[in-house]
Amino acid sequence: PHVINRIAAGEVIERPASVVKELLENSVDALATRIEVDISTGGIDLIRISDNGEGMHPDDLLLSVTSHATSKIRSDEDLQKVATMGFRGEALASIASISRFRIRTRRLGLDTGLDTGRELQADGGDVNINRECGCPQGTVIEVHNLFFNTPARRKFLKKPSTEFGRISEQFSKIALANPNLHLVLRHNDKLVYELPATPNQLERIRRFFGSDLGDKLIPVESKATTEAGEEIRLWGFVGDPSFSRGTRKDQYLFLNGRHIQDRSLQHALGEAYRGLLMVGRHPVSFLFLELPPHLVDVNVHPTKTEVRFQDGQSLYRQLLHTLRDKFLSLNF
């Protein structure tokens, strides 16, 4: 299991997009309503995430970026070692140890009794600035020169446009999971997405993919109940069979507000369209699963994209039947 953990955890900060994913999730956890993402050179030069969330207490700041007892990473080998220690609760510390890291944060005065923020800078995990600063409520994190001290890892990066593509994908997943968030993405100072907050999921999808796609989506919804009487809700939008794609890239699945991947449910989706699409074509889908957290293990993989459902077979059937019933009622 150690080897597996190491391989899995080593994948967590594999590229700039992994940093963006971790930082965006933190901002969401901090109840931000507005998040801006600024990227330079595919995230290799700079990743900056600014949120208006609850901020961090000044006393917690140092701890959050130095929680590894030996956080000073000098080599790729060290990075592997740190990775084996597990990752959860270690994202900031890990990112700080492989970059020139800056953070400015301020909590609401009420609970700190302070009316200033705090600023911290670390290079490769060495903290060189930790002081009071003036800043608005929320948190701004800058990650400069990712992998500057782990050359082997840096060497594996693709060209900036490719790395930015991956970042954009991570951004999309957060954006689709949280339509109530105002989100901005810029690359090299150019605006890529500005998504105003909306209570309407379909509107967020349209903003992203254009109303052409929005018009070809069919709403679906179903509720199932477990033996213990707990509710499993499946809802979302799936593509009209007259419209399809050559890849599965636009098949999105969210579990309790987080993007996940699941082969079995992806298969159920394909089965539901069986006979409705030409071979090699795939439906578009935006599906949301809501179920009690104890019915699923999210700690299977450190990036938490793969999960293990307690009763995956029932979910498979629920998805398949929800879509089939819908297609039947529409006479497809």
What, of Mg ion, ligand ADP, none, does residue 88 touch, CB below 5 to 8 Å by kind?
ligand ADP
Residues in contact with ligand ADP by CB under 6 A are: 22, 26-27, 30, 51, 53-56, 64, 88-92, 139
**163 binding partner (options Mg ion, ligand ADP, none; Cβ < 5 to 8 Å by kind):** none
| Binding segment (CB under 5 A) for Mg ion, from list 42-50, 86-94, 105-113, 164-172 | 86-94
Nearest approach in angstroms of CB 144 to ligand ADP is: 17
Q: Which is nearer to Mg ion, 56 or 217 (CB)?
A: 56
Residue 246 CB, shortest distance to ligand ADP, in Å, is: 36
Q: State the SS3 of the chain.
A: CHHHHHHHHHCCCCCHHHHHHHHHHHHHHCCCCEEEEEEEHHHCCEEEEEECCCCCCHHHHHHHHCCCCCCCCCCHHHHHHHHHCCCCCCHHHHHHHCCEEEEEEECCHHHHCCCCEEEEEEECCEEEEEEEECCCCEEEEEEECCCCCCHHHHHCCCCHHHHHHHHHHHHHHHHHHCCCCEEEEEECCEEEEEECCCCCHHHHHHHHHCHHHHCCEEEEEEEEECCCCCEEEEEEEEECCCCCECCCCCEEEEECCEEEECHHHHHHHHHHCCCCCCCCCECCEEEEEECCHHHEECCCCCCCCECEECCHHHHHHHHHHHHHHHHHHCCC
CB of 37 to ligand ADP, least distance (A): 12
- Of the two residues 138 and 239, which places its CB atom closer to ligand ADP in the complex? 138
51 binds, among ligand ADP, Mg ion, none (CB under 5 to 8 A by kind): ligand ADP
Contact between 26 and Mg ion per CB under 5 A: yes
> Scanning residues 88 to 117, which ones bind Mg ion (CB under 5 A)?
91
Q: Decide whether 8 or 265 has the Cβ nearer to ligand ADP.
A: 8
CB of 274 to ligand ADP, least distance (A): 40
Q: How far is the CB of 57 from ligand ADP (least distance, A)?
A: 9
Q: Which is nearer to ligand ADP, 36 or 201 (CB)?
A: 36
Minimum gap (Å) between residue 72 Cβ and ligand ADP: 17
* Contact residues: Mg ion, CB under 5 A: 26, 91
